[in-house]
Structure 1
Amino acid sequence: MNLLVRFPNIKRQKYTIARVIACGALILPSCRIPELRQADPGPVLPASFTGAINEAPSGTVSGTISEAASGTVSGLVGPSISPDSSGQLGVEEFYKDRVLTQLIDQALVNNRELKVLNEEVQVARSEVLARQGAYLPFVTAGGGTGLDLSSRFTRDGAVDSQLDIRPNQPIHNPLPDFRMGLNLFWRLDIWRALRNARDAAAQRYIAASEKRNDFVTRLVAEIAENYYGLVALDKRLETLNKTIELQQQSLEIAIAKKDAGRGTELAVQRFQAEVRKNQSEKLITLQDIIETENRINFRLNRVPMSVERTSADFYDLNINTLSLGVPSQLLQNRPDIRQAERELQAAGLDVKVARAHFFPDLTISAGVGYQAFNPKYLFNTPEALAANVAGDLVTPLINKKAIRAEYLSANAKQLESVYNYQRVVLNAFTEVINRVSMVENYRKSIEIKKQQLAALEASVDSASKLFQNARAEYVEVLLAQRDFMDARMVLIDTKRQQLGAVVNAYQALGGGNSLSVPPGPALPPHRWRKQPQP
């Protein structure tokens, strides 16, 4: 009697032990997951741009890029005391040049490289939709037919020959088979591996759009820089024409003095050589104008043609006042920083996906439908009804090197993203400092060069009058004219570099980006938009 009572308990104990062993075999592989390597901290940045610009080389820098502090710098038309960044201004608001903004608008519509980046964004968006459907059940509907011929010398054939498929109706051999129904396959996302993969794809979709936006800022800056370079070349050409006219007058005076017996052939030859030199320089400048126009035309995806430009005086040409704001605004304004941030978040999600491969994987497969040997019996219910369901729980036991390698590789790529993010932030901060300081220093240089130019212009006038009255040698006139022309050319180049510095500072602050995430099919819920930092 006691044996009968204890026997079921022994069986239950065996079943319990078997369950524990099975669960241990499934969970044990996840107990030896490698530890993640951590990234080294990045450099500490000043809390304001003015602190970085004005600080002595031996000083210490404190603060972080996320701290709020106001920073200002004098732009092309003077200082701007504002906590806002010029990077938040639109193209039309910043440049205030109808001709330039029209060129930029044409480039945003027609530029082929931008269209390529738009297609990359579409590819990334399609990847999000593909990942979004991966964790949902796969349900298929369909039907089929077949014919099965069994050998009489097999177990199935021998059994079928002794049975009737219906009363007094033996099983046909060959036996037709008609079926129709639904099939389901579902990989249960227990560890969020599939949903994390979806979220990572969503982050890369936004990163692709930010990569395109970063190209837009650089495209706008390139067109603006070439545009102002074209205006500078026009001014250079105008200067050469005036210089040639002035030297032609001196040449005529030298010829007249020679004919009158008060001059020599040497003075005539020197003035003539100077005229020919500047005429040659004029042709080179015309070639530079053609090449600059065609660089703009290429960006606008149009054939070589003349490019319209502003009629404003080059020396008085001003853009907008530069306002730096605070370094933390770079995180919002710079598309390359936003791209690096999204790639960093995607890399962190990839680590979670790789980690989930250490744990058991549960899949469910099922099917329901109708099956019969004759189509007239296919929809007989419940006789022709067929169904099946199965569940599989599997976990890796032996070949874990591939999973471990995938996990370590994801960790390494995550560290790459961390270091790339640190590099991009530091590079953005450095670009702003370099370009803004260039704007200020070139502005001061232009003021000094204008004073130099005024003095040289007066010296040319004096030398020309003295030479005409035989009170100065031709060499003095030549040197005065040459110095005056060189000073005007240097002033034009300095002004051009200053305008380019303003354009590049605007781009460094994140300005010129008028595009956002492109519209498209519905994306996953907001959960993927706020993934924690790894």
Structure 2
Amino acid sequence: MRRKWWLTLFVLAAAVGCKMGPDYSRPTISTPDSYRELAPDQQAQNAQSLGDEKWWDVFKDEDLQGLVREALKQNYDIRIAAERVLQAQAVVGITRADQYPFIGAGASALNNRIPATKINGPVQTGPMQVNLSLAWQLDFWGQYRRATEAARAELLATEWARKAVISSVVSNVATAYFQLLELDLEMEISSRTLQSRKESVRLVQIRQTGGTGSLLDVRQSEELMYTAAAAIPSLERRIAQEENVISILLGRNPGAIARSRKLADTQITPSVPAGLPSSILERRPDIQSTEQRLVAANARIGVAKAAFFPQIQLTAAAGYQSTALTSLFTGPAGFWTFGAQLAQPIFTGGKLRSNLHLTEAQKAEMVLNYEQAIQQAFREVSDSLIAYKKNQEFTEQQGLLTAAAVDAVRLANARYTGGVASYLEVLDTDTLAYDAEIALAQAQLQERLALVQLYNALGGGWQA
């Protein structure tokens, strides 16, 4: 009965034992009430956020949606991240198992022959044994529970890291897709300009043959034509390379990418809600992952503190042993043992204390990483908001400039045909118009890339 009471006390102590180390509490973070780039009417409705929207509601292009869906299934980075989650789940199971007793079974049969002596003749024995053993390291100080807490936090960090990879892949696919559409638009502009300049060369040659033009005019018109022609091979190269980028994001071998829309046809909203700055802490996967690693570092302090205290282990074994198989489970063949062991570190050369200092310093580092990640997130949202707004303004002005440059080409050609201007005027206005159209295409691209960057900065894109 005395042994049973001691065993009961040990079990209860293990069940209700304390946990060493501090319980986790989120560090106090100073967050602004709103973003400086928001207008007063937007600040009044800042509870909503673009980051809460699903990616298919933000990117309404059917071709882009199809590419993103394929990337989410086949992208290697996402698949690697998923395998890391499975690894973290296994680590939790391995760590948690230390809290429970180990029970094992065994069986043995041994045949021994002792040589003859002056007193006895040869002796031959064949003992057989079956047994069941138990070993239990009591988690009285919460060492294993803190280790399990750290492993679970690492699992959550890995899961949030997987979501961060998903968000990054969605943004990368959208970015590459818009860049591909912009290159298509540049190719369209260059091809149209080349055809126009070929026609201009033909007309100038006719004027030179008729005596109303000069050979200089012919050479200058050819210069314009060759400039447009030289841009096409470079654009073809960049288009093929951008298709290869998208193919790799989709988990394919390099190949062509289907698209049916032009860049200007892709929808873009004039303004987007940014939401409350504090909501980024809950929405951005990188911040969540960093916080979970902070939770794990905090739990490891408890593991390090528990190592200073006595470790209590219970052991037990029971079974049967006999020299004859027929009497293995009968008579006095049964046996059992029970024991308890306590081990207290006395002198470790400062190892335990240094390990505690290490875990405390690691937690302090993770706190700084967490605070830095939040500040970086605020900066990214702020930069993206101002980029989105100013890119829209720039695109509007660039559109007006392009319209004026195109009309200037029409007027210059009319003046040259009427004989009141040289071809140099046509050359200058045509070059400016071509550059303006290319700049407008690039401005439209930057406007869409700013939307992608803002969506990613607000923590969107990983939602299933």
Task: Provide TM-score, normalisation by structure 2.
Answer: 0.89
Give the counterpart of 2:283 among 325, 333, 337.
333
Aligned pairs (5 A) from 1:253-272 = 253-272=203-222
* 1:133-182 deviations in Å (ceiling 9; x for gaps): 111010011211224567999xxxx9xx8xxxxxxxx9x94433211121
Runs of 4+ in 1 over 4 A off after TM superposition: 147-153
Indicate the structure (1 or 2) with the bigger Cα radius of gyration: 1
1:402 aligned partner: 351
Q: Which SS does the other structure have where 2:141 is aligned?
A: coil
1:430 aligns with 2:379: yes
For the residues of structure 2 that align with 1:410 and 1:457, how far apart are their CA atoms? 67
Aligned pairs (5 A) from 1:67-466 = 72=42, 81-147=45-111, 173-312=123-262, 314-320=263-269, 321-381=271-331, 383-466=332-415
Q: Which SS does the other structure have where 1:324 is aligned?
A: coil
Task: Work out the number of aligned pairs and report it.
Answer: 440
For the residues of structure 2 that align with 1:285 and 1:97, how far apart are their CA atoms? 23
The alpha-carbon deviation at position 386 of structure 1 amounts to 0.2
Q: Which SS does the other structure have where 1:133 is aligned?
A: helix
The alpha-carbon deviation at position 394 of structure 1 amounts to 0.9
Coordinate RMSD, CA, aligned? 2.5
Decide whether aligned partners of structure 1 residues 303 and 71 sit closer, same or farther in structure 2, where only a CA change above 3 A counts: farther
* 1:232-265 deviations in Å (ceiling 9; x for gaps): 1111111112212222232222112111111110
Q: Which SS does the other structure have where 1:364 is aligned?
A: strand
Is the 2:164–2:285 Cα contact (8 Å) retained in structure 1? yes
Higher helix share: 2
Q: Which SS does the other structure have where 1:180 is aligned?
A: strand
1:53 aligns with 2:37: yes
**Taking every aligned residue pair, what percent have the same amino acid on both sides?**
26
Is the 1:366–1:390 Cα contact (8 Å) retained in structure 2? yes
2:8 aligned partner: none
Decide whether aligned partners of structure 1 residues 310 and 42 sit closer, same or farther in structure 2, where only a CA change above 3 A counts: farther
Q: Which SS does the other structure have where 1:226 is aligned?
A: helix
Q: Which SS does the other structure have where 1:392 is aligned?
A: strand
The alpha-carbon deviation at position 430 of structure 1 amounts to 0.7
The alpha-carbon deviation at position 297 of structure 1 amounts to 0.5
Is the 2:46–2:276 Cα contact (8 Å) retained in structure 1? no
The alpha-carbon deviation at position 467 of structure 1 amounts to 0.8
For the residues of structure 2 that align with 1:384 and 1:322, how far apart are their CA atoms? 81
1:59 aligned partner: none
The alpha-carbon deviation at position 400 of structure 1 amounts to 4.8
* 1:282-328 deviations in Å (ceiling 9; x for gaps): 1111111111111001111212322122424x335323552210111
For the residues of structure 2 that align with 1:241 and 1:450, how far apart are their CA atoms? 20
Greater Cα shift, 359-368 or 254-263: 254-263
Is the 1:351–1:411 Cα contact (8 Å) retained in structure 2? yes
Gaps of 5+ in 2: 1-19
The alpha-carbon deviation at position 447 of structure 1 amounts to 0.9
Q: Which SS does the other structure have where 1:301 is aligned?
A: coil
Is the 1:178–1:371 Cα contact (8 Å) retained in structure 2? yes
Letter in 1 for 2:77: E
Task: Provide TM-score, normalisation by structure 1.
Answer: 0.78
Greater Cα shift, 348-357 or 256-265: 256-265
Letter in 2 for 1:399: T
Gaps of 5+ in 1: 1-32, 56-69, 74-79, 162-169, 516-534
For the residues of structure 1 that align with 2:284 and 2:115, how far apart are their CA atoms? 74
1:499 aligned partner: 448
Is the 2:388–2:450 Cα contact (8 Å) retained in structure 1? yes
For the residues of structure 2 that align with 1:319 and 1:212, how far apart are their CA atoms? 28
The alpha-carbon deviation at position 488 of structure 1 amounts to 0.9
Letter in 1 for 2:37: I
Letter in 2 for 1:278: A
Q: Which SS does the other structure have where 1:315 is aligned?
A: helix
Is the 1:42–1:422 Cα contact (8 Å) retained in structure 2? no
Is the 2:61–2:266 Cα contact (8 Å) retained in structure 1? no
For the residues of structure 1 that align with 2:268 and 2:132, how far apart are their CA atoms? 67
The alpha-carbon deviation at position 83 of structure 1 amounts to 1.6
Letter in 2 for 1:437: I
For the residues of structure 1 that align with 2:266 and 2:140, how far apart are their CA atoms? 64
